[in-house]
C-alpha cells in the first residue's frame, strides 16, 4: 500500500509522468482543476506542499491507480527519495530552515548544468572557488581545505571583483531566491575575512565596505526568512564595518534595516531610534534617495504607533527628497519613486486613510520596476488592502491574486504572511463571497501550495 503523507509538486510530477503517463492538461482534467494549477505545482517541486481539498484530490487519484501503475509509482518514489538536508552555516550561527542544501552532489551538478550560463554571468569568474564551494553545498568552514587556491594578495582589481559580486548577489535575491543569494554572500564573506589581514591600508576602507554590504544582505535574508536573532547579529556586524570603513551611506542603510527589523518585530520606538540615526547620517550626504529612504523608515515606525502628524511630516519630507533626487543611490539602489509611493501607501493604510493610500499604491504598482519583484508584490498588497478599506472587494481580490503569483516565484514568509492578512481583511468585509472563494483557489495554487 502506498501512503503519501505530503503531496508536493515533485510527487505529483512523479505520479503524472511515471504512474499515469499523462500530460499536465490530462491530469488537471482528472483532478478537476486548470492546467495552470498543475503547472505551478510541478514548477515549484518539493517547495509546493498541498493542503485541504487539493491534497484530498490527489489522495483520491492515488486510490484509483491500477496495480501496474501503483508498482511504477512506488518504485519511482523510492528512487527519488532525497537525502537528509544539511545546513551550510557554521555551528555557532543559526540558519533559517528554508536555507539548506542537498547532500547529494548529483543534484547540485544537475542544477549547475541547467543554469551554467546564468551562473557564469552572476559570478563572473571572480573569486570563483569560494562561490563554487557554496553552490555545491560545502560549509564555509570547508573552504579551509582550499586555502592554496585562494589568492591572498589584495589589489584594487580583487577588491573590485568582490564589490561587483556583492552587487550581483543582492540582485540574485530577487531572481533566484534566498537560498542562492545566501550561499553567494556567505562564500564572499568568508573570502573577505581571509583577505582583510593582508589588505593594504589604501584599500582597507573599500574591503570593509564590502564586508558591511555582505553582512547587511545576510541580515536582510535572515529577517525575510524569519530568523530575527541572526538578522540582528548580521546587522550589528554591518553597522560596525560601515563605521570602520567611514562609509556614511552604508551606515545609514544598515540603520534603516535595523529600524525595519525592530518595527516589524513589534518595537517601533526602537525602530524610530535607528531611523533617526540613519536620517542624521544621511543629511551629511548628497544622496536624496538615501535621505528619502531613511525618512520612510521613520514614518513607518511612527505609523505603527498611530502617530499621524509625525508620520505625515516624514512622508512629506521623503516625497520632497525623492522629487529632487538625481541618479540612483549607491547603497539604497533599490529605492526609487515606486518604492517611495509604496511605503507612503503602507503608512497611510496604518493611519486609516484609504483613499490616499489607494492613490499612492496605484502609483507604486505602475512605477516599481519588474526587476524588483518583491517590492512590486508589497505594492500590490498595499493596493489590495486599500481597495478593501474602500469596499472595492472585486478590485482587492484581483490585485491580491496577482500578488499570489509573485509569491510563488519569490517565496518569503513575511510576504506570504502579508498576503494571508490581506485575504483575511477581504473575508472580514465580504465573508463567504464568490470573489473570496476564487481568491482562495489562487492562494491554494500558489501561496498555500
Digits of tens for pLDDT over the chain (449 positions)?
576 777 888 889 899 999 999 999 999 999 888 888 888 888 877 767 787 778 888 888 888 899 899 888 888 887 765 433 323 333 334 434 433 444 444 454 454 444 444 444 444 433 444 444 444 343 444 344 334 444 456 888 888 888 888 888 887 776 666 767 887 888 888 888 888 888 999 999 999 999 999 999 999 988 887 788 899 999 999 999 999 999 999 999 999 999 999 999 999 999 999 999 999 999 988 999 999 999 999 999 999 999 999 999 999 999 999 999 987 887 888 888 999 999 999 999 999 999 999 999 999 888 887 667 778 888 899 999 999 999 999 999 999 888 887 766 666 777 788 888 999 999 998 898 888 888 888 888 776 55
The strand pairing partners of 8, in sequence order, are 49
pLDDT, residue 327, reads 76
pLDDT, residue 448, reads 57
Under 8 Å between Cβ of 136 and 105: yes
Integer CA distances (angstroms), 114 to 65, 109, 110, 123, in order: 33, 9, 6, 15
Please list, in sequence order, all residues whose beta carbon lies within 8 angstroms of the beta carbon of residue 396, skipping any fewer than 6 positions away. 384, 385, 387, 388, 422, 425, 426
Q: At what angle do helices 228-245 and 201-224 cross, to 10 degrees?
A: 160
Q: pTM surpassing 0.85?
A: no
pLDDT, residue 157, reads 82
Integer CA distances (angstroms), 220 to 138, 238, 240, 279, 315, in order: 22, 11, 16, 20, 23
Under 8 Å between Cβ of 45 and 10: yes
pLDDT, residue 408, reads 64
> C-alpha grid cell for residue 49?
506542499
159 CB-contact burial (10 Å; exposed 0-12 / middle 13-18 / buried 19+): buried
> C-alpha grid cell for residue 243?
563605521
Under 8 Å between Cβ of 58 and 5: no
CA angle at residue 310 from 309 to 314, to 5 degrees?
A: 115
Q: State the CB neighbour count (10 A cutoff) for residue 121.
A: 9
DSSP letter at 8 equals B
Tell me how far apart the alpha carbons of residues 440 and 153 are, in angstroms, rounded to a whole number: 57
pLDDT, residue 205, reads 94
**Three-state DSSP state, 101:** strand
Amino acid at each position: 500500500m502506498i501512503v503519501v503523507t505530503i503531496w508536493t509538486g515533485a510527487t505529483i510530477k512523479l505520479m503524472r509522468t511515471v504512474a499515469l503517463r499523462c500530460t499536465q492538461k490530462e491530469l488537471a482534467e482528472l483532478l478537476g482543476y486548470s492546467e495552470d494549477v498543475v503547472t505551478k505545482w510541478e514548477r515549484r517541486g518539493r517547495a509546493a506542499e498541498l493542503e485541504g481539498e487539493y491534497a484530498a484530490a490527489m489522495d483520491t487519484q492515488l486510490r484509483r491507480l491500477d496495480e501496474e501503475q501503483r508498482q511504477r509509482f512506488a518504485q519511482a518514489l523510492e528512487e527519488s527519495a532525497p537525502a537528509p538536508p544539511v545546513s551550510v552555516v557554521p555551528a555557532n550561527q543559526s540558519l533559517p530552515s528554508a536555507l539548506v542544501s542537498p547532500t547529494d552532489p548529483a543534484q547540485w551538478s544537475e542544477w549547475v548544468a541547467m543554469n551554467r550560463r546564468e551562473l557564469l554571468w552572476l559570478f563572473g569568474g571572480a573569486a570563483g572557488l569560494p562561490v563554487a564551494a557554496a553552490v555545491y553545498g560545502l560549509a564555509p568552514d570547508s573552504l579551509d581545505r582550499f586555502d592554496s587556491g585562494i589568492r591572498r594578495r589584495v589589489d584594487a582589481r580583487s577588491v573590485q571583483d568582490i564589490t561587483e559580486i556583492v552587487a550581483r548577489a543582492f540582485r540574485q535575491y530577487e531572481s533566484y531566491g534566498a537560498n542562492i543569494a545566501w550561499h553567494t554572500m556567505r562564500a564572499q564573506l568568508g573570502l573577505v575575512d581571509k583577505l582583510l589581514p593582508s589588505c593594504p591600508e589604501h584599500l582597507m576602507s573599500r574591503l570593509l565596505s564590502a564586508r558591511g554590504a555582505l553582512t547587511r544582505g545576510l541580515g536582510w535574508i535572515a529577517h525575510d526568512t524569519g530568523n530575527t536573532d541572526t538578522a540582528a547579529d548580521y546587522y550589528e556586524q554591518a553597522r560596525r564595518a560601515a563605521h570602520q570603513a567611514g562609509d556614511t551611506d552604508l551606515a545609514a542603510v544598515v540603520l534603516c534595516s535595523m529600524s525595519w527589523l525592530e518595527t516589524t518585530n513589534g518595537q517601533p520606538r526602537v525602530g524610530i531610534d535607528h531611523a533617526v540615526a540613519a536620517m542624521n547620517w544621511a543629511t551629511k550626504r548628497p544622496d536624496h534617495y538615501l535621505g528619502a529612504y531613511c525618512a520612510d523608515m521613520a514614518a513607518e515606525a511612527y505609523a505603527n504607533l498611530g502617530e499621524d502628524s509625525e508620520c505625515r511630516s516624514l512622508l512629506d519630507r521623503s516625497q520632497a527628497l525623492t522629487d529632487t533626487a538625481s541618479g540612483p543611490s549607491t547603497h539604497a539602489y533599490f529605492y526609487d519613486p515606486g518604492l517611495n509611493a509604496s511605503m507612503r501607501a503602507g503608512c497611510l493604510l496604518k493611519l486609516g486613510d484609504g483613499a490616499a493610500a489607494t492613490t499612492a499604491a496605484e502609483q507604486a504598482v505602475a512605477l516599481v520596476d519588474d526587476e524588483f519583484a518583491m517590492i512590486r508584490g508589497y505594492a500590490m498588497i498595499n493596493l489590495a488592502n486599500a481597495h478593501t478599506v474602500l469596499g472595492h472587494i472585486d478590485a482587492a481580490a484581483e490585485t491580491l491574486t496577482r500578488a499570489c503569483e509573485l509569491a510563488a516565484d519569490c517565496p518569503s514568509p513575511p510576504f506570504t504572511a502579508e498576503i494571508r492578512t490581506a485575504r483575511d481583511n477581504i473575508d472580514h468585509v465580504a465573508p463567504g463571497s464568490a470573489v473570496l472563494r476564487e481568491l482562495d483557489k489562487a492562494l491554494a495554487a500558489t501561496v498555500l501550495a
